[in-house]
Amino acid sequence: MSDTPSPAPAGTPACGGPLAGLRVLDFGRYIAGPFCATLLADMGADVIRVERRDGSEDRYVQPIVPGAAPGEGGEGSMFLQMNRNKKSITLDPMHDAGREVVQRLVTTADVVVANLPPATLTRMGLDLDSLRAVRDDVILTTVSGFGRGGPDSEKTGFDGVFQAMSGAAYLSGFGDAPVKSYAAWVDFGTAAFAALGTMAALMERGKSGKGQMVEGALLGTALTYFNFHLIEQQLRGTDRVASGNRSQYAGPADSIRTKDGWIFVQVLGTPLFKRWARLMGEEHWLEDARFKDDLARGDHGEILSKRTAEWAAQRTTEEALAELEAARIPAGPVLKPADVLTHRHVNEAGFFTPVEFPGMPEPAPVTGFPVRMTESDVGIRMRPPLLGEHTDDVLASLGYSADEIAALRDAGAI
């Protein structure tokens, strides 16, 4: 693990990363918007998180110390992940004086991130036309649930809704009831796509001098991740149903019980199947028509999973994984969350950075920027901010005097 990051002084450049010198205003909520801004912050952008006076909802999701106040452990694990490398100001954009603050902020901003409904963006003065009236080359990055153009465009929705609507939940589980993933892959995928689109928009602005709007949609992300299954459905009419952890288009690919735990084995392609057959002592299955290709092996996956389970039942997890690795067959242990945190490879590879935060009992294990770069400074440099920690410094940098800042606070604008 790397050293615990400490906060840099307010108003200083984030780092020498590839986006150093760019300013991002983060009006996001929950995951898709805030994590998009986090990825930009990890690459060096100066990101200002704009929150309500009592804190945005996502500051308190899964609180570490339930019932505690902000700064005393009341912040949640979601906030600790989503908001490293950011400054925080409190602001009411609906307040008349708050609108003026927004406009001054926008004059300094290259990107505005706001995963809010279109009507809300307009009321807050964060729609593209309003932003362009202040800075004509600004980039607005937005995320909605359903995307524009259909009858559901104004509806609200969270990650699980779109796991369900994409077909993914229907094909997960064991067929008795749909199952959503515990991981919010729709939200995180949308954040990544939105960050990618923002980077492309910045490149375009560098050539044309023009800003633009970058739009992501949770439903679009879910459909993208699940698309090849939908293509198969349309072109083959397969009408697949849930089959637990067992793959329906290759095999063996399943969760397998060992003498002391579980492993996941994933055989895809004939070369891997040949290695598996030799390891299992079932080389004659290489001539069996039931296993002639991936699709046939998926159709008869129960047989392959059963044979793998018989083999694994005679071995510990460590023994089974060692033999599978010797045969170069992809496999790994099924870990409990507590086991993930102590896993040797996870820690020695440096996937977690310990991040301290006021009121927390110990540093939080936060995953850093998910891509490593040999020539760029990316990663975690600052802990997440306390609520409104940088309000005075940011407003002072915009030209507000101490008396004006106090008046804004008394008026309820900040």
3: left (phi over 0), alpha (psi -120 to 50) or beta: beta
Angle, helices 270-280 vs 301-312, to 10°: value is: 40
51 forms bridges with which residues in the sheet? 90
CA angle 149, 152, 158 (to 5 degrees): 115
The model carries a pTM of 0.92
Query: Which of 118-127, 136-145, 226-235, 333-342 has the weakest average pLDDT?
Result: 118-127
Fold (CATH) for 23-225+365-374+384-411: Rossmann fold (3.40.50)
pLDDT in tens, 12-66: 334 579 999 999 999 999 999 999 999 999 999 999 999 999 998 899 999 999 9
Residue 402: alpha-carbon gap to chain centroid: 38
Residue 247 CA to residue 239 CA, distance in Å, equals: 15
pLDDT in tens, 341-379: 999 999 999 999 999 999 999 999 999 999 999 999 999
- Residue 5 has a pLDDT of 52
Residue 381 CA to residue 353 CA, distance in Å, equals: 10
For 141, 188, 223, 233, the CA distances from 220, given in Å and listed in that order, are 15, 13, 5, 18
Outline where DSSP puts E strands in 80-207: 86-90, 111-114, 139-144
Residue 21 CA to residue 38 CA, distance in Å, equals: 15
User: How is the chain split into domains, by residue range?
Assistant: 23-225+365-374+384-411, 262-333
Q: What are phi and psi of 286, to 5 degrees?
A: -65, -20
pLDDT in tens, 269-323: 999 999 999 999 999 999 999 999 999 999 999 999 999 999 999 999 999 999 9
CB 44 within 8 A of CB 15: yes
Please, what is the average pLDDT of the chain?
94
Angle, helices 227-236 vs 218-225, to 10°: value is: 60
For residue 214, what are the contacts with CB-CB under 8 A and spacing of at least 6?
139, 140, 141, 142, 194, 197, 198, 200, 201
